[in-house]
Structure 1
Amino acid sequence: MKAIVYETFGAASDVLKLIEIDPPVPEPGEVCVELVYSGVNPSDVKARAGSRPGVTRPAFPQIIPHSDGSGVICAVGQGVARSRIGERVWIWNGQWQRAFGTAAASICLPSEQAVSLPSNVSFETGAILGIPGLTAAHVVFGNGPVSGKTLLIQGGAGTVGHLAVKLAKWGGANVIATARGAGMERCRQAGADTVLDYSATDLAQQILDANNGQLIERIVEVEFGKNIETDTEVIAPNGTIAAYGSAQEMSPTLPFYPLLFKAVTIDIALIYLLPEDRRRQTIDWLHTALEANVLDCPVEAVFPLTSTAQAHEAVEASARSGAILIDVTKE
């Protein structure tokens, strides 16, 4: 089968290459998925570039990148019901702590990591559910129902932010989103009740004004380090900051006393490590929203397998309004 691999860290165009390898065979408890799409996420790009803190070389001699994907189960290992063959599925943790991810014609992985795709959901959307979808559902609903609450979603125009706005509104929350430029209109279209420019010098006051002077119970945060001062100012006592990113400031200085005297919970969300029961609940939230047709997953661009390097570069360039996918059936 055809697959994209890398063996050393470096620029996408330098290290990613298309090769032919033997198709995988499922081990006991595994399924083999014939892939249709592979999702490219910032974490995949950082892993290939070698920019994860403390990581100096790839964990395996040869890596097929990408953790997200969608396709059809084509074979099963011992202990897995043969009735799963032919099932449409989406994948989570495809390349997490494993050598071979979804940038290939097929993948074998534990049966539970291939989740049945609702009949009304496209393969394109399926390839976005693993990291962006689960992250958005977790940071919105991680403390339970949000009906009647106000959520601040920092960075509501990104893929996770867009899904978080949609999910929060579906859950009955009042949503204040931040963005900039064209991203502000994307937040409005997603259903945000108020959209603010995150570069405003008086952003904290604008957030409070938008919430009738009341502090915010839950903040979904894409840039934890950069925004911690604002978040600390507007968070309510016993509130939660659910942070899933901090790319612009990886070693933030925390205003500990103000956070302490509000008893703020800082929930650092790494979706790869969700415990089994919480992952099941998060998947249920996603599927319920999808089946109700209240959640759309916009796609910025789809690249053929041979253009995986360009797909990585598109993710690195940022300033996009949707996900980047690889159509693994096309060269």
Structure 2
Amino acid sequence: MKAVTYTTFGDAADVLQLQDMPLQTPGPGEVTVDLAFSGVNPSDIKARAGSRPGITKPPFPVIIPHSDGSGVISAVGEGVPASRIGQRVWVWNGQWKRAFGTAATQIALPEAQAVQMPDPVSLETGAVLGIPGLTACHAVFSGGDPTDQTILIHGGAGTVGYLAVQLAKWAGASVIATASPRDFERVCDTGADFVIDYSADDLADQILDANKGQTVDRIIDVEFGQNVETNTTVISENGRINAYGSAQHMTPILPFYPLMFKAVTLEVVLIYLLPENARATAIEKLHSALAAGALVCPIQKVLPLQDCARAHELVQAGNRTGAVLIETI
């Protein structure tokens, strides 16, 4: 099979290489997926660059990057029903704590990590459902049914935020999103009731004004450290903050007593470690939203396998309006 690999940390153009590798044979409880698309996420960039805290060398001698992907099951291992052969599937945690991810023509992995796709859903969309889709879905629904609640979504133009806006509106919530002014129209078009400049000096006041002077029930945050003071001001008593990122301020000072005296629940979301029941719930919600036509996963660029380094550079540059995929066929 063809695969993109790296053996050392560094810039994408310097360390990623396309090579031939043995075909992926499924072990007991596993399936082999002939991949069609591989999704490229910021976490893949950090892993390849060696920028995760405390990690000084690659955890495996040879790594095939990327955790997300989609394709068709071509073989099954012992204990897996043969009826799974031919299923269109999307993949989660393809390269989490494993050497070989989805930047290849094949992957073998536990069968639970290859989720059968609803028939109308494209393979391109399937390659976005792993990290962005599950993160957005869990962040919206963790803490209970958000119907009739007001949800503040920081970073509504990002891949996760954009999906979260759609899922929150589908669930019957009112949505206030923050974004850069250049993205206001796009975020409004996806369903946000109000969109506010994330850099505004009076951000908290504008959020409260948008909610008719009331605090918000739930916050989904891509930059927890940067927004912690604003969030503390605008969150309701017994409210919930689901934070899935804090790249700008990795060691924020937490205003504990103001949060405690609102009895706020803070969940730090890491989708790789989602418990089985919570993951099953998120998958069911994602599929239901897709089946209802309530969720669109925009794709900005699809590149061939040999241009994997370019895909990494596009994701690293930021300011995207959709996912970046590698076509692996």
Which TM-score bucket, shorter chain as reference? Answer: over 0.9
Partner SS state of residue 90, structure 2: strand
Corresponding residue number in structure 2 for 1:322:
322
> What does 1:210-221 correspond to in 2, within 5 Å?
210-221=210-221
Partner SS state of residue 320, structure 1: coil
Deviation of the 1:278 alpha carbon = 0.7
Q: Tell me the amino acid that sits aligned with residue 275 of structure 1.
A: P
Deviation of the 1:56 alpha carbon = 0.6
Q: Distance in 2 between matches of 1:183 and 1:101?
A: 32
Q: Distance in 2 between matches of 1:185 and 1:223?
A: 22
Q: Tell me the amino acid that sits aligned with residue 256 of structure 1.
A: F
Q: Distance in 2 between matches of 1:128 and 1:183?
A: 21
Q: Distance in 1 between matches of 2:317 and 2:143?
A: 33
Q: Distance in 2 between matches of 1:293 and 1:260?
A: 39
Q: Does 1:119 align with 2:112?
A: no
Partner SS state of residue 48, structure 2: helix
Q: Distance in 2 between matches of 1:37 and 1:231?
A: 37
Measured against aligned partners, the alpha-carbon deviations of 1:239-274 in whole angstroms (never above 9, x if no partner) come to 111000111111111111211111111100000000
Deviation of the 1:63 alpha carbon = 0.3
Q: Give 4+ residue runs of structure 1 displaced > 6 Å after superposition.
A: none
TM-score between both structures, scaled by the size of structure 2: 0.99
Q: Tell me the amino acid that sits aligned with residue 135 of structure 1.
A: T
TM-score between both structures, scaled by the size of structure 1: 0.99
Q: Distance in 2 between matches of 1:84 and 1:316?
A: 36
Structure 2 residues without counterparts, runs of 5 or longer:
none
Q: Tell me the amino acid that sits aligned with residue 141 of structure 1.
A: F
Q: Does 1:83 align with 2:91?
A: no
Partner SS state of residue 204, structure 2: helix
Q: Distance in 1 between matches of 2:309 and 2:249?
A: 26
Structure 1 residues without counterparts, runs of 5 or longer:
none
Measured against aligned partners, the alpha-carbon deviations of 1:45-75 in whole angstroms (never above 9, x if no partner) come to 1000000011111110000000000000000
Q: Does 1:135 align with 2:170?
A: no
Deviation of the 1:186 alpha carbon = 1.4
Corresponding residue number in structure 1 for 2:310:
310
Measured against aligned partners, the alpha-carbon deviations of 1:203-244 in whole angstroms (never above 9, x if no partner) come to 100000111111111000000011111011101111111000
Corresponding residue number in structure 1 for 2:190:
190
Partner SS state of residue 228, structure 2: helix
Corresponding residue number in structure 1 for 2:151:
151
Deviation of the 1:183 alpha carbon = 1.5
Aligned length: 329
Q: Does 1:4 align with 2:4?
A: yes
Q: Does 1:289 align with 2:286?
A: no
Q: Tell me the amino acid that sits aligned with residue 68 of structure 2.
A: D
Corresponding residue number in structure 2 for 1:103:
103
Q: Distance in 2 between matches of 1:83 and 1:271?
A: 29
Q: Distance in 1 between matches of 2:144 and 2:298?
A: 26
Corresponding residue number in structure 2 for 1:23:
23
Measured against aligned partners, the alpha-carbon deviations of 1:156-182 in whole angstroms (never above 9, x if no partner) come to 000000000000000000000010132
Q: Distance in 2 between matches of 1:303 and 1:26?
A: 27
Q: Distance in 1 between matches of 2:276 and 2:311?
A: 31
Identity %: 64
Deviation of the 1:313 alpha carbon = 0.5
RMSD between aligned alpha carbons?
A: 0.6
Partner SS state of residue 249, structure 2: coil
Corresponding residue number in structure 1 for 2:56:
56
